[in-house]
Every structure is written in structure tokens, then in C-alpha cells.
Structure 1
Amino acid sequence: ERWHQTLKNRILLENYFLPGDLEAQIEAFVTHYNHRRYHESLDNLTPADVYFGRGETVLMERERIKRQTIQTRRLQHQMQAA
């Protein structure tokens, strides 16, 4: 239901004068929706990440970056406090 509502709001409310234009916009939307748009219900992963089994790898990389960022900020704070 959510997918159809988003498609309607972004694509189908526009005026397209050639069928090919509408088809190209729908294809671009589907590509964006599946490969670029993060879904909260999928732990902020894309459907393609989940489908192709990359979800755990992406989540582990995010966690590694988060830990590294926290460590860097702590070091910067300690250097400013000294």
C-alpha cells in the first residue's frame, strides 16, 4: 500500500504526453525505491540490500563507522580539554 501511494504522489500526478516518458519515470522510481531509498522497516536498508543478502554487511559497516566516529570525537574532546 505504501509503495503505491508513493508512486502515485511522485509519478502519476504529473502529466506525460508520451507513453515512453511515463515508462521511463516509473522505471526510475522503481530503481530508486529498490536501490537508493532506505526503509525504516528494513533497519534502514534498501530492499536490494536485504534481497541480495548484503544487509548484515551494511549494518556491521555502519556500526564500525559509528564506533570509529565516537572514538575520534572522544580524542578530540580530550585534546581540547587538555
Structure 2
Amino acid sequence: CTCATTGLKKSDWAGCDLGRRLMYTASEKLAIIRLVEDSDLSIRRTLDEIKVSRSSFYRWYQAYERDGLEGLENASRASRQDWNKIPDSVREQVVDIALNQPELTPRELAWRV
């Protein structure tokens, strides 16, 4: 399969497999940015051709303009794992109220906390 954007075969696109993927490396993101910048086609058409979403591309592009190659590095997901974790103090309070007032529904319990 040859890309209409660059004339390159899929396997030659800057060393990237540009099919749908969950995550790209910083160098792959930069290669995609360069490919789009150098393309004679519109940004939308180029991204459609290489199957990269516009929202991802523009997020990468802004990060690259702001922070350079470092801005394209994948952020650690560890910090996002506990976004909805209930703090221990609140959990203890919920358990105490629930044990002392078992007739409360979960909604009523939430209002008491």
C-alpha cells in the first residue's frame, strides 16, 4: 500500500506503523508531525490517510511547539490511576456512619458525609 501523501510505502513512513494504535513514541509523533507539515495535502486528508486522529495530532503539535521533543514524551499513567480514590479519612467516616445508621440508603449516606 502506498501513501498518496508521500509516495512512500506504509512500511517506510518514517519507520512508524501508522495504523491505529494506543500509544506512539515521541519519535513517532515527531515523524507524524513532520509528515503532515511536509505534505502537499491538507492536514485533514493527510491524517485520514495515515489513520491518526486530528485531536491527537493537534494535541501533539501544541505540546511540541510548547516543549519541543520533550513535550511529545508519553506521560506516566501512574499519576492518573487514583483520580477517583476516596481518601482514607473520608472512607473511615463513611464506614462509621454506615455501621451506626444501617437504615440509610447509599444516597442518604453520601449526603451525611
Whether the TM-score (by the shorter chain) exceeds 0.5 is no
Q: State the structure with more CA Rg.
A: 2
Q: TM-score, normalised by structure 2?
A: 0.23
- Of structures 1 and 2, the one scoring higher in RCO (CA 8 A, sep 6+) is 2
